[in-house]
Amino acid sequence: MLTIQNYVRPQSLQEAWELNQKRSSRIAGGMLWMKMSKGNCGTLIDLSDLGLNTIVETEKEISIGAMVTLREIELHPSLQSYSWGAVQRALKNIVGVQFRNLATLGGSLWGRFGFSDVLTVFLAMDAYVELYKGGIIPLSEFAKMNYDRDILVRLIIKKQPCLMAYEDMRIASTDIPVLTCAISYIDGIFRATVGARPGRAMLFYDEKGILSEWITEESAEAFSRYLMEQVPTSGNIRGSSAYRSQLVKVLSRRALLQIKGGN
């Protein structure tokens, strides 16, 4: 059981950051995974009063505050249109609607969980995170970082012409995924992300130009085999390393053919 000594709702990011510098302090997101942890929390920091619960769209980008819920993201029409439905596809099987009404973007991304559909789908975009002290950095860089005492403020998605598809494999529809895969075509570049390996999602590019002449049955098969060879996997109770490697091939091929068909 998690024991909390003090609960604070700071009125500025600076105040929140200063409180979070103590090792016993923790930032509260939706409190869905944290509440199941064990130990003592000296100060629980709630960011609800800092205006981080909005999605702001301009001509050039979509900005999602750290306290926006997964359900709000799932239902946002511009995000679904821009991602060709991939964002909704990625989020709709995360436990249930009640869970997604509470889980936040910040908590989901900051955790950099190995099973995160959220990290997988946004990593395939031209996306960045804004850290209070660390500034704006690519999400791909943030995904590799170790945990520190900074605060995630928002996710920024640069709006470029985009084709995208998302695939996953679950033992049950609302279970933690066995493997996740997103593929996008942005600014003439194919990006492939694979998560639930079961480690953190990783980003890969078509470095060999397999898809340079666009997607065909043959090039989709060749790229999915190449990706299978590149993605490191391991086993756990949901599947073996060999099974996950096969899923990399199958899911990436499905995603590519979805993009080809415009589905």
Query: Per-domain residue ranges for the chain?
Result: 3-46, 53-158, 163-260
* 215 contact partners, CB below 8 Å, separation of at least 6: 256, 257, 259, 260
Alpha-helical segments (H) within the chain: 13-20, 70-75, 77-82, 86-91, 97-100, 105-111, 117-123, 139-142, 217-230, 241-261
| CATH superfamily of this structure's domain 163-260 | CO dehydrogenase flavoprotein, C-terminal domain (3.30.390.50)
**Which of 245, 228, 96 is CA-nearest to residue 172?**
96
Class of domain 3-46: alpha beta
pTM: 0.94
Does domain 53-158 fall under CATH 3.40.50.2000? My reply is: no
Tens of pLDDT along the chain (263 residues) come to 788 899 999 999 999 999 999 999 999 988 887 777 778 889 999 999 999 999 999 999 999 999 999 999 999 999 999 999 999 999 999 999 999 999 999 999 999 999 999 999 999 999 999 999 999 999 999 999 999 999 999 999 999 999 999 999 999 988 999 999 999 999 999 999 999 999 999 999 999 999 999 999 999 999 999 999 999 999 999 999 999 999 999 999 999 999 998 75
Number of Cβ within 10 Å of residue 221's Cβ equals: 15
Contact 35, 103 (CB under 8 A): no
Q: Check residue 49 and give left, alpha or beta (phi > 0: left; psi -120 to 50: alpha).
A: alpha
Report d(CA 36, CA 124) in Å as an integer.
Answer: 30
